[in-house]
Amino acid sequence: MQNQHTQSQQTKLIEIFNQHFDKQPQIVCAPGRVNLIGEHTDYNGGFVLPCAINYQTLIAFTPRNDNRVVAIAADYGNQRDEFDISEPIAMNDQQFWSNYVRGVVDVMTKQYSLTSGVNMVISGNVPQGAGLSSSAALEVAVAKVISEVNDRNIEPKTLALIGQQAENEFVGCQCGIMDQLISACGEQQNALLIDCRNLETRAISMPKDTAVLIVNSNVKRGLVDSEYNTRRQQCEAAAKHFNVELLRDVSVETFEADKGGLDDVIMRRAMHVIYENQRTLDAADALVSGDLKTMGRLMRESHLSMKNDFEITTSEIDLLVDLINNQLGEQGGARMTGGGFGGCVVALLPQHLVPVVCDVIEASYHTATGLKESIYLCSAEDGVRLI
């Protein structure tokens, strides 16, 4: 099992910074995230329930007296990127990580009058390619750094929007707002209920002594882009049938009364989204009342819906969910988290059951699949901040 090593991460980061620059740096921290429930609801204007986790991107930084940005990636052999904020900012075709930095700075130069460049060293322990939003954590951290060195008191929600715009327009990935918003606005010991239509948020307290366990199936995610686009088109077709702009505006009652005119596949796609929105609202209520039994039931229902109606799980993911849920009974629950076709499972469970569940996974998963899982024990943490 893996956990965060924030202090050693900070120490290593400062050592590397001191090798390259001569001033003592400040450090910004931005967390990754996991979505507890509410899958494929975001682009339908619905609700999601993520929490920021104790895996993060750290950036050590000092302001410069000129317009240059110098960024060093400690996790990529101290690769270096350097550019001028007073000139047009182009993509870096040699170092993909650089484009998240460049994209954020590009957005901010167009929205704010930036007067200071920056030296920064970047390091992160958010698992990459696991659906835990390492890129969003990097974007939000960079936005916070640029805000700090230019004496801009930019609110967290705006930092999130800057990160999303950078990913959409500069990097070229049409992500929603959830990942950046939870990295910017997370709260310790709370999940965040996000209304993806108007970006309103509500802190949802996590029950005491409850663990957030993330298990990466290490299934390489295939078909994600094409299938994601197909699912979006199917949801749009369903919304058109109900004469609304977004499936968010179709209640469970309206769906049940008028689903007969839908093609079977479109009907099942819509059913997942409409019921998932309700499950997400119910899950927020369950967490606030400390009702892990109801939360577990909702997570299991969410997973079955993703498996049977939205059809985005894999046999390996289903196995992990079954292993965990069979062990937990009514003391918690597990479901796939993320876009689908591989990636991670998230479980909420009492702390004392973590070793038992991990033992079951380690004893069964590799034997059945030939793959080795990665397990991360997490807690709900604050969003972006100076440390």
What percent of the chain has a predicted confidence (pLDDT) above 90? 82
| Cβ neighbour number for residue 168 with a 10 Å cutoff | 16
- pLDDT confidence of residue 82: 96
Residue boundaries of the structural domains of the chain: 6-206
Give, in order, the Cα–Cα distances in Å from 85 to each of 28, 107, 114, 186: 20, 11, 8, 30
Q: Which residues, including other chains, have CB under 8 Å from residue 61's CB and lie 6 or more apart?
A: 25, 26, 27, 28, 118, 119, 120, 121, 145, 148, 149
Residue 349 · residue 332 · CB < 8 Å: yes
Query: What is the residue-averaged pLDDT of the chain?
Result: 93
- CA quadruple 152, 155, 157, 159: dihedral, nearest 10: 20
- What pLDDT does 9 receive? 83
- CA–CA distance, 235 with 247 (Å, rounded to integer): 7
Question: Coil, helix or strand for 147?
Answer: helix
Rg of the chain in Å (alpha carbons): 21
Q: Hey, what are 339's tokens?
A: 């876009």
Structure confidence at residue 5 (pLDDT): 56
Give me the pLDDT at residue 223, please.
55
Evaluate if residue 229 carries a pLDDT over 90.
Answer: no
Question: Over the stretch 170-220, which tens digit does the pLDDT of each residue have?
Answer: 988 777 788 899 999 999 999 999 999 999 999 999 998 999 999 999 997
Closest CA to 261 of 242, 234, 281, 288: 242
Query: Does 316 score more than 70 pLDDT?
Result: yes
In this prediction, residue 299 carries a pLDDT of 98
C-alpha 196/C-alpha 43 separation (Å) is 8
The catalytic site residues sit at: 179
Residue 114 DSSP class: -
Mean pLDDT on 231-253: 96
Q: What is the pLDDT of residues 73-84, one digit of tens each?
A: 999 999 999 999
What mean pLDDT do residues 246-270 have? 96
pLDDT at 129 over 80: no
For 123, the 3-state DSSP assignment is: strand
What pLDDT does residue 161 have?
95
Query: Of the CATH numbers 3.30.70.20, 3.40.50.720, 3.30.230.10, 2.60.120.10, which one belongs to the domain with range 6-206?
Result: 3.30.230.10
Quick one: which of 251, 193, 228 has its CA closest to 342? 228
Average pLDDT over residues 4-31: 88
The model's confidence at residue 119, banded by pLDDT at 50, 70 and 90, is very high
Q: DSSP readout, 259-302? A: GGGS-HHHHHHHHHHHHHHHHHHHHHHHHHTT-HHHHHHHHHHH
Say what the pLDDT of residue 1 is.
Answer: 55
Whether the per-residue pLDDT at 221 is higher than 80: the answer is: no
Number of Cβ within a 10 Å radius of residue 203: 18
